[in-house]
């Protein structure tokens, strides 16, 4: 389960077009300006909290 979440977050960061299409589907919103808010929130807060920096992973 965690691997799937991490893979989804990586895809969100690396493929903005795909991430916006997914958000568009579930938020039922077509306006790009409106979709930018949740996308940016995801980048700024969710991804940063859930994916540790590489330097922390190399310690273990």
Higher pLDDT, 26 or 51: 26
Q: What is the pLDDT of residue 27?
A: 83
Residue 39: count other Cβ atoms within 10 Å of its Cβ. Answer: 16
Residue 52: half-sphere exposure toward Cβ, Cα within 13 Å: 7
User: What is d(CA 41, CA 56) in angstroms, rounded to the nearest whole number?
Assistant: 23
The answer to whether 59 and 51 have CB atoms below 8 angstroms apart is: no
Q: What is the pLDDT of residues 10-50, one digit of tens each?
A: 888 888 888 888 888 988 988 888 888 888 887 887 766 66
């Amino acid at each position: 389960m965690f691997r799937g979440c991490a893979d989804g977050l990586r895809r969100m960061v690396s493929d903005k077009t795909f991430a916006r299409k997914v958000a568009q589907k579930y938020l039922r919103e077509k306006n790009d300006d409106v979709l930018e808010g949740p996308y940016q929130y995801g980048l700024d807060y969710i991804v940063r909290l859930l994916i540790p920096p590489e330097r922390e992973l190399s310690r273990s």
